[in-house]
């Protein structure tokens, strides 16, 4: 295997069946998901969009498991996402406070309370829960500990399984990361609404 790849990913036959190869990236290559295993509606695609949000706004629909990046001309890029379990999801208005490439991860106090065996810290890599990229959401200049990030569990896309954050396929979160600047507005909706 090429340097930067995690050999454990492809050595597990069940896990390896989700992947078809790698896309070059630094410092780790991105495992590419076999899209035939993902429901077609959760594949990245351009769709009609008639919401009032300005182009460049990220809109996350928790209930439908979609993230929209609003485009000019009544369209949006739509990505399938995995969302937080009931009681863990956040909704509201935030902004992208910072962005991370292959970010390190530390569990929140709530996560540790629920799963005491979690590691206290994990450096960035293919086996890191934040995946290849992360967008860190802020309100009033403060990190609210809510992330839009990659995942090493592609089967969770379209599901309600995470500890609250919005997870995307690694190749999708890289695409979003490259399109969205720090400061972009993020609206996270539940039941068609977001708290202000």
CATH no. for residue 150? 2.40.440.10
pLDDT recorded at residue 5? 43
State the DSSP string of 19-31. EEEEE--SSSPEE
Q: What residues does 70 pair with on adjacent strands?
A: 76
Phi/psi class of residue 8: alpha, beta or left (left: φ > 0; alpha: ψ in -120 to 50)? Answer: alpha
**Count of positions (residues) in the chain:** 196
Q: Is residue 34 part of a domain?
A: no
In which domain, by residue range, is 96 found? 39-189
Q: Is residue 32 part of a domain?
A: no
pTM for this model (two decimals):
0.89
Q: Is residue 45 part of a domain?
A: yes
Could you give the CA distance from residue 140 to residue 182 in angstroms, rounded to a whole number?
14
Q: Is residue 16 part of a domain?
A: no
Could you give the CA distance from residue 64 to residue 83 in angstroms, rounded to a whole number?
10
Q: Distance of alpha carbon 15 from its chain centroid, rounded?
A: 19
User: Three-state DSSP class for 171?
Assistant: helix
Mean pLDDT of all residues in the chain? 87
Q: Which residues of the chain have pLDDT under 70?
A: 1-11, 86-89, 112, 121, 162-163, 195-196
User: Structurally, how many domains does the chain consist of?
Assistant: 1
pLDDT recorded at residue 7? 45
Residues in Cβ contact with 157 at an 8 Å cutoff, skipping those fewer than 6 apart: 38, 42, 65, 80, 81, 82, 151, 167, 168, 169
pLDDT tens, position by position, 25-42: 999 999 999 999 999 999
Q: Is residue 33 part of a domain?
A: no
Strand (E) or helix (H) holding 92: strand 92-101
Active-site amino acid positions: 149, 165
Could you give the CA distance from residue 88 to residue 85 in angstroms, rounded to a whole number?
5
pLDDT recorded at residue 3? 36
Q: Is residue 27 part of a domain?
A: no
Q: Is residue 166 part of a domain?
A: yes
Could you give the CA distance from residue 160 to residue 141 in angstroms, rounded to a whole number?
28
Q: Is residue 11 part of a domain?
A: no
pLDDT recorded at residue 1? 30
pLDDT recorded at residue 117? 79
């Amino acid at each position: 295997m090429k340097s930067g790849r995690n050999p454990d990913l492809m050595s597990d036959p069940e896990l390896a069946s989700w992947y078809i190869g790698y896309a070059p990236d630094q410092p780790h290559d991105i495992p590419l998901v076999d899209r035939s295993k993902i429901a077609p509606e959760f594949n990245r695609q351009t769709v009609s969009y008639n919401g009032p949000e300005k182009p460049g706004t990220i809109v996350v629909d928790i209930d439908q498991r979609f993230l929209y990046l609003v485009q000019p001309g009544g369209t949006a890029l739509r990505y399938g996402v995995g969302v937080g379990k009931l009681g863990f999801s956040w909704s509201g208005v935030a902004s992208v406070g910072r962005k991370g490439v292959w970010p390190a991860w530390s569990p929140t106090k709530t996560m540790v309370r629920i799963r005491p065996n979690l590691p206290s810290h994990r450096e960035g890599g293919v086996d890191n829960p934040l995946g290849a990229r992360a967008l860190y959401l802020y309100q009033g200049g403060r990190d609210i500990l809510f992330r839009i990030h990659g995942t090493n569990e592609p089967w969770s896309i379209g599901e309600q399984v995470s500890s609250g954050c919005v997870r995307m396929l690694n190749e999708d979160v890289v695409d979003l990361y490259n399109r969205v600047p720090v400061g972009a507005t993020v609206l996270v909706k539940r039941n068609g609404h977001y708290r202000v």
